[in-house]
Copies of this chain bind each other. A is one copy, B any other.
Amino acid sequence: MDVKKTSRLSLVEQVTGQINELIKSGQWAVGYRLPPEPLLSEELGVSRNTLREAIRALVHSGLIVTKPGDGTYVISSSVLGVAIKRRLEESTLLETLEVRNALERETAALAALRRTKSEMQRIQSYLTVCEKAAKANDLESYVEADMALHKSIAEAAHNPLFLELYEHVTEYVHMSIGNMIALYEQLPHRKLVQAIHEKNSILAASAVDEYIEEFRKIIKSTMEE
């Protein structure tokens, strides 16, 4: 019967896996407050002690936090994301940027080859928003549109693994540099979008190199201050 299966995967591991799936699938999004332990343990059909153990495991892996007297909350949706973030914390910003560069260049090149028509439209529209925000000197909405633009490009590469890695690294970069980012030159962005529109992967890659170089200069000059 199930005896061997049960012995192969302990009850705690099963519960951990279930909760992990709920978080990864987005049903329990970041910020979500988990049901109280007694209720949740009943729903999952396990004792409260077993559930508590599973929760501790997930806390250790960095997906959730427990606040005594309050509740437990989802703080991250991906174990890989947490692992990358922790590794990035012991690297310099320039090292991280080099990795991001490699990921971004490749996603851009692949997007140029694979983007669909509707994806192209999304990319174009984000570029427009981006340029408008830059013109209006609205830093906040610029950053937002900029991230959306790059994400839509990464999505057009049609490689979910790539997308995930790119997002995790990018998220960390944005976190660590905060808002010290400037409204830099928009020409490379246009160039990139144009290259993707023309399905020219080589041009797309070189456009990425161009604005990464711009970006690097800004970082370096900001660091010297």
Residue contact B60 to A99, C-beta cutoff 8 Å: no
State whether the Cβ of A79 lies closer than 8 Å to any Cβ in chain B: yes
What's the number of copies of this chain in the assembled complex?
Answer: 2
What separation, in Å, do the CA atoms of A61 and B110 have in the docked complex?
Answer: 33
Q: Which of A11-61 contact B (CB under 8 A)?
A: 13, 16, 53, 56-57, 60-61
Given that A56-B57, A57-B56, A57-B57 are contacting pairs, would A162 and B80 also be in contact in the complex, using a CB cutoff of 8 Å? no
What separation, in Å, do the CA atoms of A38 and B27 have in the docked complex?
Answer: 41
Of B57, B83, B101, the residue contacting A80 (CB under 8 A) is B83
Residue contact B87 to A164, C-beta cutoff 8 Å: yes
State whether the Cβ of A98 lies closer than 8 Å to any Cβ in chain B: yes
State whether the Cβ of A180 lies closer than 8 Å to any Cβ in chain B: no
A-B CB contact pairs (8 Å), 22 listed? A13-B60, A53-B56, A56-B56, A56-B57, A57-B60, A61-B61, A79-B86, A80-B86, A83-B83, A87-B161, A87-B164, A91-B160, A91-B161, A96-B161, A98-B106, A98-B110, A99-B106, A99-B165, A101-B106, A102-B102, A102-B106, A105-B106
